[in-house]
A and B are shown apart, each in its own frame.
Chain A
Amino acid sequence: MPDRDIYEEKADSTMGFFDKLKGALKKTKDVLKTDVRDIFRAGEILDEAKLKQFEKRLLLTDMGFEATSAIVEELRVKHVGRTVIIDDIWTTVKDKLKSLLKGDGDVRYDPNKPTSPLNLQSDGPTVILVAGVNGVGKTTSIAKLANLLQKDGKSVVLAAGDTFRAAAVEQLTLWSERLGCDIVTKPSGTDPASVAFAGCDLAADKGKDIVIVDTAGRLQTHTNLMVELEKIHRVIGKRIPGAPHESLLVLDATTGQNGVSQASHFSDIVDCTGLVLAKLDGSAKGGVVVSIRQKMGIPVKYVGLGEQIDDLAVFDPDSFVDALVSEEV
């Protein structure tokens, strides 16, 4: 890995979330040729064939059959058989999606304050537990988050709670060296809960602001591994009452409907407070978060847009929806 100053100002660092996302999406070679708005050219009657094309675009985002059907049904009720005015349709669809994503509370974080989605404590360390299935981007997202927090003047301790996978500890250690932050590690095979505990210990003793706990990837159906995760969660709360203050679930943007099962099982165990949607820089749209928001109410807090340390952006539902069924892509 080439040496790289992680705080080096990139030319595009002032780019907003939407621009960055669009930039990433533009890399897509298989640019979808049709413009969604073409489907509904003004003056045309909206019929079933046209609705079907619309259904396709929605399903291709991975938002799932249910959410798609809800939207298509709304279109059917409001517009079928009528002369279509494109802007109306657009408003209907986007409003529907945005309202699904926002749920009851209006999730709108401040993109200029990258730590705004986090429930940071004013006294005592804030503990952030990060979990998810294998290979989604947990460890990398932790490094990116630590970077955001450090830039915000916070002192960060990482706890290398993946004591199972080969070289997982080394991976997080390398990131901590690049970040220049504290890290707590234990030998491979150690009970991960004890690593989490030690991380909280260190932060409490040294008066650090944040502890971020990495965990091994685990499929949500492996009950014994979920029990292990539950223990990590419990032990953190024993050391620092009220912790973890954030329990983030990392999802891979390429994931299909299994994302719903992931969110539901992980939430049962560690009560997820938010999602990190990693790898959104590929051609996948990550639409499954729409179903997750709809079914479980878990909000997306961050999106991962690359493998480098500053490729993390605060989630913005409005821009996300615009990109999801983008006019331009």
Chain B
Amino acid sequence: MFEGITDNLKNALSFLNRGRLTEASIREGMQKVRQALLEADVNYDVAQDFIDRVTERAIGDDVLKSLSPTQQIIGIVHNELEELMGPVDHSLNIRKGELTILMMCGLQGSGKTTTCGKLARMLKADNKKPFLVAADLQRPAAIEQLRIIGESVGVPVHTEDPAETTPLKVCQNGVKRARAEGADVVILDTAGRLHVDDELMAELEQIDKRVGPHQILLVCDAMTGQDAVNSAKAFNDALEVDGVILTKLDGDTRGGAALSVKAVTGVPIKFIGVGEALDRLEAFHPDRMAGRILGMGDVVTLFEKAQQEMDEDEMLAAQEKMREGKFTLIDFQKQMRSMRKMGSIKDIMKYIPGLGGMADAMSQMGDPEKDLKRIDGIIDSMTLNERENPNRIDRSRRNRIASGAGVDPSEVNALLKQFGEMATMMKRMSGMGTMERMRAVQDMARSASNDPTGHIRMQKQRSRRGPVDVRKAKDDKKKKRKDAKKSRKKNR
């Protein structure tokens, strides 16, 4: 399943391992890295500077003599990227015994209002008393949006009638009110604006001057392309930004904007947004971002592990079956077992770009290994015939299997359904190119509302989002299982 995942950089650079390494071939290799950066949306000049610097370092280093120049070069690139995007500074510099004022700014639709809610929620969890101010008088229903968000995280919101006020007045009055109500952090939500709109930029500068926020946070969409440098630079020039928050990293963007923004402003990236729900805010980690930008995570390691643990022929056979739609529960179990030999799901996740952060989140999601074991047990309780033809499993067979595996019959059902879905997905994936396939793996992992075990886990697809729902659904399910157990006991 993992064959070719490393197409990207490793393959592009593999020529380095053949023949004699020269300064020229390193330079050539670096052109591939440059291409990867450009494809990840790193700004042209930033990418060029980066490559120039790293090339010097690589030539100066002992790369030429090393046994595995590809690895070494990737290592150097990775380190430099990490260094450029660091150092880590997750602090909002909240002042003790004094009201701290935070101001959000950024282009339209970047995620300011949502991030206000996320920050307020985070601060509240940290025993602070946050207070929100709705200073976007421009966009229809922006005030209402912040009001609803404030309500859902239990934080007061200062609003004024947009026809009767100005953004500056709202901020001034909001800060006054926050102080009077004993809040310790005020967050000002401002309207989205273009950095080329002089009038609106002047409006922000005025708020900055008259209200004097302690921290100005630039909210930047992680999907931004080459223009990220222009907007970030303009906001920073006008306001002296203190921190950047990168949003919408829950998608498949490579996120080169992170590098661009840091390089042109020098402002640290403090947090990342990884979902619409108000608890989807994480601290920024340059190392994970570096892997993501290079489109490799630590896939190299994963690939090597996979090669060690998985039988090549068996994997090819399985793939062939998937393509033909003949993939059965027997094959599924085999694959699952060999995958488990590579380590825990959590470990594996860490190697896949963009999923690294999820390993942490998973700790809250219960134990996926248990789920896998249970699935294994259920399949074990099936006859060979059943494993080959899961659609023949009727009610009585289902009950037999369930009691054999010591689970509820509904879990057998869920497994069969998930297997059906997975088989379809795999069939689709087998027709894909490498990068697409890797994305599909990532999709699969994310799809079940950020649950890394994704489709393997016994979970229904639902259209509502956010871990709250997942947890609630889990609780519901637990309760159902308990109830079912109770009633079973009664019947005895």
Is B254 interfacial (CB-CB < 8 Å)? yes
Is B449 interfacial (CB-CB < 8 Å)? yes
* Chain A interfacial residues counted at CB < 8 A: 58
Q: Contact between A254 and B107 (Cβ–Cβ < 8 Å)?
A: yes
Is B108 interfacial (CB-CB < 8 Å)? yes
Q: Contact between A167 and B38 (Cβ–Cβ < 8 Å)?
A: no
Is A11 interfacial (CB-CB < 8 Å)? no
- Residue in A137, A223, A255 whose beta carbon sits within 8 Å of that of B223 in the complex: A255
- Residue in B221, B234, B253, B449 whose beta carbon sits within 8 Å of that of A254 in the complex: B221
Q: How far is the CB of B293 from chain A (nearest CB, A)?
A: 12
Inside 8 A of A255's CB, which chain B residues have their CB? 221, 223-225
Which residues 8-61 of B have a CB within 8 angstroms of A?
Answer: 35, 38-41, 44
- Residue in A133, A170, A228, A281 whose beta carbon sits within 8 Å of that of B141 in the complex: A170
Q: How far is the CB of B420 from chain A (nearest CB, A)?
A: 14
Which residues 133-184 of B have a CB within 8 angstroms of A?
Answer: 137-142, 144-145, 147-149, 152, 162-163
Is B287 interfacial (CB-CB < 8 Å)? no
Q: A253–B231 Cα gap in the complex (Å)? A: 13
Q: Contact between A288 and B439 (Cβ–Cβ < 8 Å)?
A: no
Q: Contact between B195 and A1 (Cβ–Cβ < 8 Å)?
A: no
Q: Contact between B35 and A65 (Cβ–Cβ < 8 Å)?
A: yes
- Residue in A1, A59, A136, A221 whose beta carbon sits within 8 Å of that of B109 in the complex: A136
Q: Contact between B446 and A307 (Cβ–Cβ < 8 Å)?
A: no
Q: A220–B253 Cα gap in the complex (Å)? A: 10
Q: Which chain B residue has the least Cβ–Cβ distance from A174? A: B140
Q: Contact between A64 and B39 (Cβ–Cβ < 8 Å)?
A: yes
Interface of B is mostly: loop
Q: A282–B224 Cα gap in the complex (Å)? A: 13
Q: Contact between A135 and B35 (Cβ–Cβ < 8 Å)?
A: no
Is B62 interfacial (CB-CB < 8 Å)? no
**Chain B 193-213 near chain A by CB (<8 Å), digits 1 or 0:** 011111000000000000000
Inside 8 A of B110's CB, which chain A residues have their CB? 135
Q: Contact between B250 and A222 (Cβ–Cβ < 8 Å)?
A: yes
Q: Contact between B108 and A284 (Cβ–Cβ < 8 Å)?
A: no
Q: Contact between B145 and A62 (Cβ–Cβ < 8 Å)?
A: no
Q: Contact between B41 and A166 (Cβ–Cβ < 8 Å)?
A: no
Q: A135–B225 Cα gap in the complex (Å)? A: 15
Q: How far is the CB of A49 from chain B (nearest CB, A)?
A: 13
Inside 8 A of A279's CB, which chain B residues have their CB? 107-109, 194
Q: How far is the CB of A268 from chain B (nearest CB, A)?
A: 10
Q: Contact between A224 and B111 (Cβ–Cβ < 8 Å)?
A: no
Is A155 interfacial (CB-CB < 8 Å)? no
* Chain B interfacial residues counted at CB < 8 A: 63
Which residues 420-457 of B have a CB within 8 angstroms of A?
Answer: 439, 442-444, 446-449
Q: Contact between A256 and B144 (Cβ–Cβ < 8 Å)?
A: no
Q: Contact between A219 and B442 (Cβ–Cβ < 8 Å)?
A: no
- Residue in A166, A171, A227, A256 whose beta carbon sits within 8 Å of that of B140 in the complex: A171
Is B240 interfacial (CB-CB < 8 Å)? no
**Known contacts being A227-B463, A252-B221, is A134 close to B109, with CB within 8 Å?**
yes
Q: A75–B159 Cα gap in the complex (Å)? A: 57
- Residue in A189, A221, A223, A282 whose beta carbon sits within 8 Å of that of B107 in the complex: A282
Q: Contact between B196 and A307 (Cβ–Cβ < 8 Å)?
A: no
Q: A228–B44 Cα gap in the complex (Å)? A: 38
Q: Contact between B226 and A30 (Cβ–Cβ < 8 Å)?
A: no
**Chain A 24-37 near chain B by CB (<8 Å), digits 1 or 0:** 00011110000000
Inside 8 A of B447's CB, which chain A residues have their CB? 221-224
Is A43 interfacial (CB-CB < 8 Å)? no
Which residues 150-177 of A have a CB within 8 angstroms of B?
Answer: 164-168, 170-171, 173-175
Q: A136–B108 Cα gap in the complex (Å)? A: 8
Q: Which chain B residue has the least Cβ–Cβ distance from A253? A: B227
Q: Contact between A221 and B252 (Cβ–Cβ < 8 Å)?
A: yes
Inside 8 A of A307's CB, which chain B residues have their CB? 108, 138-139
- Residue in A135, A174, A257 whose beta carbon sits within 8 Å of that of B221 in the complex: A135
Inside 8 A of B225's CB, which chain A residues have their CB? 62, 254-257, 259, 284, 288
Q: How far is the CB of B265 from chain A (nearest CB, A)?
A: 14
Inside 8 A of A29's CB, which chain B residues have their CB? 195-196, 198, 234
Q: A62–B257 Cα gap in the complex (Å)? A: 12
Q: Contact between B139 and A282 (Cβ–Cβ < 8 Å)?
A: no
Q: Contact between A2 and B231 (Cβ–Cβ < 8 Å)?
A: no
Is A10 interfacial (CB-CB < 8 Å)? no
Q: Contact between A256 and B257 (Cβ–Cβ < 8 Å)?
A: yes
Q: Contact between A62 and B226 (Cβ–Cβ < 8 Å)?
A: yes
Q: How far is the CB of B260 from chain A (nearest CB, A)?
A: 10
Is B400 interfacial (CB-CB < 8 Å)? no
Q: Which chain B residue has the least Cβ–Cβ distance from A268? A: B428
Is A258 interfacial (CB-CB < 8 Å)? yes
Inside 8 A of B463's CB, which chain A residues have their CB? 191, 224-225, 227-228, 231
**Known contacts being A62-B226, A256-B224, is A219 close to B195, with CB within 8 Å?**
no
Q: Contact between A27 and B197 (Cβ–Cβ < 8 Å)?
A: yes
Q: Contact between B109 and A61 (Cβ–Cβ < 8 Å)?
A: no
Inside 8 A of A284's CB, which chain B residues have their CB? 225-227, 230
Q: A61–B464 Cα gap in the complex (Å)? A: 37
Q: How far is the CB of B386 from chain A (nearest CB, A)?
A: 28
Q: How far is the CB of B356 from chain A (nearest CB, A)?
A: 16
Q: A65–B226 Cα gap in the complex (Å)? A: 12
**Chain B 99-115 near chain A by CB (<8 Å), digits 1 or 0:** 00000000111110000
**Known contacts being A1-B138, A279-B108, is A257 close to B40, with CB within 8 Å?**
yes
Is B462 interfacial (CB-CB < 8 Å)? yes
Known: A62-B226, A134-B248, A189-B464. 10 other contacts (CB 8 A): A27-B194, A30-B233, A64-B39, A135-B110, A166-B149, A221-B439, A254-B227, A279-B107, A282-B194, A285-B227
Going nearest first, the 6 A-B pairs with the smallest beta carbon separation are A256-B225, A135-B109, A223-B447, A256-B41, A284-B227, A167-B145
Query: Can you list 5 A-B contacts with CB-CB less than 8 angstroms, sorted by A residue number?
Result: A1-B162, A135-B109, A170-B145, A221-B251, A256-B224
